[in-house]
Amino acid sequence: MKDSLGASLLAAGAKYVHGAMGTVPKSVHSFLHATEFVGEKLAQGGIPATSLRHVPLYIDRSRFASRSPKADYLVYAGRLVREKGLATLFQAMRALPDVKLRLLGDGPMRAELDQLARDMGLRNIEFAGFLDEAEYVAQLGGARALVLPSELYETCGLVMWEAMTMGVPVIASRIGGIPESIVENETGLSFEPGNAQELTDKIRQVLGDSGAAARMAARGDDLVRAHCESHYERIMGIYDEAIAGAGK
């Protein structure tokens, strides 16, 4: 799991024990998964398909209701760690010297990334660091686009939903559960993880057609709204199902 050998061994051990004892199907009515990708992984791990229930995640859309005037920069929002694909993003930014990128967030790679930017001669990257919520919302909402270049599995990538809710188009890597929120050229743009050239091309596409970018952001907002508005009903339906079957 991620970079943790201990966590991976623990998860593998738990899977083995539950599989050997047959305790998972006996003790749990439903396993909720936020994306179909996660559901597939759970099924591969031995969870019975009949116990799997897809319930997309939820965000409080009221927190991202404001629409900031768009400024001339791209934004990345998240931890500064290797698996987020920031080295690939830096390669793309080297090919786009007139495009500004703001990194919202902090993490263990901050110093390394700062040095990498210097070594690559990148003058178009700004490290904003950790921000309070008001400033985060303002910075995210003011961007021309959000870039999510993850190179290891993401369950969903909720920052995409936050951006879409504020009318910010999304460019994200095709990995894990991310593609389930990206209908190409409809709700956003996607690229192969680690492919700096394709990422560069997608950034140029967004910046070169503001009308198409706005339409993608609006359709992304529709997708997020639909998921959030149905979240409660989905959860309660599963509770009702579990209660009805408890005495059987």
Higher pLDDT, 65 or 116: 116
Neighbouring C-alpha atoms within 13 Å toward the C-beta of 151: 16
Q: What residue type is assigned to position 232 of the chain?
A: Y
Q: How far apart are CA 42 and CA 139, in angstroms?
A: 36
Helix runs in 143-209, H state only: 158-165, 196-208
Decide: 180 and 109 in contact? Cβ < 8 Å.
Answer: no
The CA distances from residue 226 to 31, 35, 91, 161, 240, in Å, are: 22, 15, 35, 11, 22
Residue-level pLDDT at 24: 58
pLDDT digits (tens, 9 = 90+) for 185-224: 999 999 999 999 999 999 999 999 999 999 999 999 999 9
Contact yes or no for 75/217 (Cβ under 8 A): no
Q: Is the pLDDT of residue 242 over 90?
A: no
The per-residue pLDDT for 69 is: 80
114/202 Cα distance (integer angstroms) = 24
Give the CB-side neighbour count of residue 122, counting CA atoms within 13 A. 25
Q: How far apart are CA 19 and CA 1, in angstroms?
A: 19
pLDDT at 138 over 90: yes
Whole-angstrom distance between the N-terminal and C-terminal Cα of the chain?
Answer: 36
Beta bridge partners of 148: 172
Mean pLDDT of all residues belonging to the chain: 88
Distance of alpha carbon 161 from alpha carbon 157, whole angstroms: 8
Question: Contact at 8 Å (CB) between 158 and 180?
Answer: no
pLDDT given for residue 3 in this prediction: 47
pLDDT band at 25 (very low <50, low <70, confident <90, very high): low
Write the pLDDT tens digit of every residue in 107-124: 999 999 999 999 999 999
For residue 15, is pLDDT > 80?
no
| pLDDT exceeds 90 at position 19 | no
- Amino acid residing at 174: R
SS3 73: coil
Point out which residues pair with 76 in neighbouring strands. Answer: 103
Cβ–Cβ under 8 Å, residues 51 and 43: no
- Asked if residue 7 has pLDDT above 70, the reply is no
The residues, ordered by sequence, that sit 6+ positions from 13 with a Cβ below 8 Å of its Cβ are none
What beta strand segments (E) does 6-68 contain?
A: 31-33, 52-54
